[in-house]
Amino acid sequence: MSAVATQTASPLTRRHNPKRELWLAWWTLVVFYNFFFLVFFVITRVQPPPNPAWDTPRVVQWFHDNHFGLLAGFAIMFVITGMTTMSNALIAYSMRRMSVSRAFAYSYLILYSLSAIPGMLLMCIALTIGALRPDRDPELIHWIYDFAFLSFVGTMGVFLIGSLVWMLAILIDKNRVFPKWFGYLNLCNGLTEIVVSPAWIFRGGVLAWNGQIAWWLDMVVFGIYTGVFIFLLRQMIQREDFGTGPLPELSKAAL
Partner 1 sequence: MSDVGENDGEGPRSARSALRRTDGELVLLWTLPASAIIWIGAFLLFPGFTPPMSPTMTAEQVAAFYRDNQAAIRSSMILFNWFGVCLVPVLILIVMQIRRMAHRTPIFSYCMLGCIAGGPTLFLIANVCWLLAAFRPERKPELTQLLNDFAWITFTTVVPFLIAQSVILALAIYFDDQSQPVFNRWVAHFNLLIAAALVPAAFVGLALTGPLAWDGALSFWLKNIAIAVWIVVMGVVLGQAVYRERAEQRQRVEERVAA
**Which one, of 116, 105, 102, lies nearest residue 166 by Cα?**
105
DSSP H or E run through 155: none
| Angle at 104 (CA atoms; ends 19, 117), nearest 5 degrees | 85
Shorter beta-carbon distance to partner 1: residue 73 or 211: 73
CA distance 153 to 214: 9
Shorter beta-carbon distance to partner 1: residue 87 or 186: 87
Under 8 Å between Cβ of 27 and 35: no
Shorter beta-carbon distance to partner 1: residue 24 or 194: 24
Nearest approach in angstroms of CB 24 to partner 1 is 7
Ramachandran region of residue 208, left (φ > 0), alpha (ψ -120 to 50) or beta?
Answer: beta
The site for partner 1 (CB under 8 A) is made up of 14, 16, 18-22, 24-25, 70-72, 74-86, 88-90, 92-93, 96-97, 109-110, 112-114, 116-117, 121-122, 124-126, 128-129, 131-133, 136-137, 140, 144, 242-244
Nearest approach in angstroms of CB 125 to partner 1 is 5
Nearest approach in angstroms of CB 220 to partner 1 is 28
Shorter beta-carbon distance to partner 1: residue 134 or 179: 134
In Å, how far are 22, 109, 121, 156, 251 from 17, measured between CA atoms? 10, 25, 35, 38, 19
Nearest approach in angstroms of CB 79 to partner 1 is 5
